[in-house]
Amino acid sequence: MEASRRKKRALVEMNEDDVEDVEVWDKLSNGIKRAQVVLDQNRDLIQRVNDNHRSRIPDNIARNVGLINGNISRVIEIYSH
DSSP 30-80: HHHHHHHHHHHHHHHHHHHHHHHHHHT-HHHHHHHHHHHHHHHHHHHHHHH
Q: Rounded to two decimals, what is the model's pTM?
A: 0.53
Which pLDDT tens digit goes with each residue over 43-81? 999 999 999 999 999 999 999 999 999 988 887 887 786
For the chain, the domains span 33-80
Q: What pLDDT, on a 0 to 100 scale, did the predictor assign at position 69?
A: 93
Task: Give the confidence band of 15 by pLDDT, cuts at 50, 70, 90.
Answer: low
